[in-house]
Structure 1
């Protein structure tokens, strides 16, 4: 059996990837901390005793790093080595456009994959459109009519998680998919001021971008329970946006999938109800 294992199967990209693979008549195995639902198996990065069952019969793995871990390679390495021993031949890692190979966080995992596995793809998406509709910014948009960031006037090629999943599905299933890394973006770039304006226009509400300093952003993350080191790293990503680090677009979504990347306006139109006052 040549199964595909999806780690982070309940996350923003993972659950969409499961859905898209099922649409291709493929039944991926879902690695979850609590094994609930069809084709699900209990899996915990920190519990090596869960790895063997998760990998049984698997030949391709979608890798989502354990959340909140600043240095994920030491945590992921026992699983990666076991996967190779058991015959996994293809690995697709979710990283980020801001993380270069060999650099911090998933950059270390990226470098390890290049050096050690037969077939690998590292997806390096820009910031998710779903950050505004599902997690980070949703509570303040709904509750305060505000988006908080330290990005200043910096621009981002925001990408829909559906497009990330679409690229991942090809990378996991296409027999001759070439190893390498892919920076994934939407079709255009927007500042956070412009993001607020698009949501305002579409929903009829007055959403504002509240500009913070890097330290204020770090303190804000810490107040939400994010570990200080990780909070500082997240704030640094905002500051990198402010200096233009994410002001770019690529054609990789359309090159891989044959379809254009979804625009932010289309995303907001489809998800307008997410920002209703009753959404939380």
Structure 2
């Protein structure tokens, strides 16, 4: 794809969207940074976009030929709004779409899996990013970060299941490649960190690095679902609690070479991330 194209980045102030926007700008690409309040991002054109307001779609899409897609937060059935948007995007001239999904959700699965299934019928050039669980889930306002700060615990129903946690910087680097490479991107990109850890091992690393005792508190599926439902839609809470059980069964105990293969550098490991990002 020619470097002269323009990319619409949906969720341009979010965990991955902000990094994708910065990476595209740094590479000299034209970017429309989209958000509910038309976010001001250096080097990018700000544009208002709201999944709940289809009247914002046309202006956001004007003049773009690529789009980075982040589903509506907490939506258990995002295809209801995303697929009509993607049809509109195709009609407006978008020819490459890159969707953020999850390693836990295949094409045709729940949530973004339904959008994943629809993409091949809409675009000749498309990719789905399926990252493992974010290292950033242990920082800022995320649930794990809050329980670590408040109670010194990581609370999951994952048992001894391992996860190859991945840094959002690495996810964004893969996204920039998928959006800008001259060749059509790989279509299904499972993105992981370099090692799989269980939550007990994560807690031990955090204890060592921060000097504060952190433990893994094992909850039941129902306990996790009920706790999550206090801060998000019940259907999405049930989906996330179910993913904990999948982790317990070994579904995320794998690593891939996606970051190294597409960016030319190894993915960041959890210890290095924690030493720099968690205090």
- Same fold by TM-score, threshold 0.5 exceeded? yes
Matches within 5 A, 1:57-68: 57-68=63-74
| Residue of structure 2 aligned with 1:43, choices 21, 40, 49 | 49
Q: Equivalent residue of 1:10, what SS?
A: coil
Tell me if structure 2 keeps the 8 A contact 1:126–1:246: yes
Cα distance in 2 for partners of 1:190, 1:247 equals 8
- 1:152-180: CA deviations, max 9, x gaps? 00000100000000000000001103341
Shift of 1:115: 2.0
Shift of 1:2: 2.1
Tell me if structure 2 keeps the 8 A contact 1:48–1:78: no
Dislocated runs of 4+, deviation >3 Å: none
Matches within 5 A, 1:181-192: 181-192=188-199
Cα distance in 2 for partners of 1:162, 1:32 equals 20
Matches within 5 A, 1:46-125: 46-125=52-131
Q: Equivalent residue of 2:143, what SS?
A: coil
Two-structure CA RMSD over aligned residues (Å): 1.1
Q: Equivalent residue of 1:131, what SS?
A: helix
| Residue of structure 2 aligned with 1:163, choices 170, 182, 194 | 170
Cα distance in 2 for partners of 1:194, 1:177 equals 38
Tell me if structure 2 keeps the 8 A contact 1:94–1:124: yes
Partner of 1:2: 5
Partner of 1:29: 32
Shift of 1:272: 2.6
Is 1:260 paired with 2:263?
no
| Residue of structure 2 aligned with 1:20, choices 16, 20, 23 | 23
Cα distance in 2 for partners of 1:161, 1:47 equals 28
Structure 1 alignment gaps of length 5 or more: 274-280
Tell me if structure 2 keeps the 8 A contact 1:200–1:206: yes
Cα distance in 1 for partners of 2:227, 2:202 equals 20
Matches within 5 A, 1:122-271: 122-134=128-140, 135-223=142-230, 225-271=231-277
Structure 2 alignment gaps of length 5 or more: none
Tell me if structure 1 keeps the 8 A contact 2:5–2:30: no
Q: Equivalent residue of 1:6, what SS?
A: strand
TM-score (ref. length: structure 2): 0.95
Shift of 1:73: 0.7
